[in-house]
Amino acid sequence: MTEAATTEQTPDDDIMSLSSVDQYLTFSIGDEDYGVKILSVQEIRGWEEVARVPNTPSYVKGVLNLRGNAVPVIDMRMRMNEKDPQYDNTTVVIILRAKLKGNERIAGIVVDDVSDVMNARSDEIRKTPDFGERVNTEFIKGLVDVGGNMVMLFDIDNFMQHPDIYDDDVDSEE
């Protein structure tokens, strides 16, 4: 009830208030809803075969030709411990981009489908509870309540710097 009360107190058009409003693209993996900041979404593509990269974890699907650039594609469903995800016509690849040490980097994530665009004010975002070891919250930055549904906010910075797709120190590859 408490958060419902706070949302009512603040008028909808209160853009000038201290808490900023960000837009999120929501997508689903299995029956879970996720949101990713819309400004870091470059495009959404239908699933297509990518070139597999040998000797990488199975959730790294491979590299995609994105207008002449080789872009890694990670199956988020497998990353989030879904065992045998299906690839059908609603399966989409969200191409994300982020700046890392001054360089723009691009990566794709495979999700079940994209649903909507939602607004979330920064004071609405709650911390991810500590689930302990068993639940993978690596890429979850926070939680937002949208009409009673919980949406997990995708931590793109953490994702882009993850050793799965990034050499932190290029010299120490040995």
Question: Minimum distance between the CB of residue 85 and another protein, rounded to whole angstroms?
Answer: 18
Q: Tell me the C-alpha distance between 120 and 69, whole Å.
A: 33
Question: Minimum distance between the CB of residue 2 and another protein, rounded to whole angstroms?
Answer: 43
CA of residue 127 relative to chain centroid, distance: 16
Please report, for residues 114, 124, 146, 152, the alpha-carbon distance to residue 6 in angstroms, rounded to integers and kept in the order given: 28, 9, 14, 20
Any contact of residue 71 with another protein (CB under 8 A)? Answer: yes
Phi first, then psi: what are they for 159, rounded to 5°?
-65, -45
Any contact of residue 38 with another protein (CB under 8 A)? Answer: no
Q: Tell me the C-alpha distance between 81 and 43, whole Å.
A: 25
Give the CA diameter of the chain.
57
Any contact of residue 53 with another protein (CB under 8 A)? Answer: yes
Any contact of residue 107 with another protein (CB under 8 A)? Answer: yes
Q: Please work out the total of residues on this chain that contact another protein, with binding judged by CB under 8 A.
A: 27
Stretch that binds another protein, among 9-17, 20-28, 135-143, 164-172 (CB under 8 A): 164-172
Under the rule (CB under 8 A), what is the footprint of another protein?
Answer: 49-56, 62-65, 68-72, 103, 105-107, 163, 165-167, 170, 173
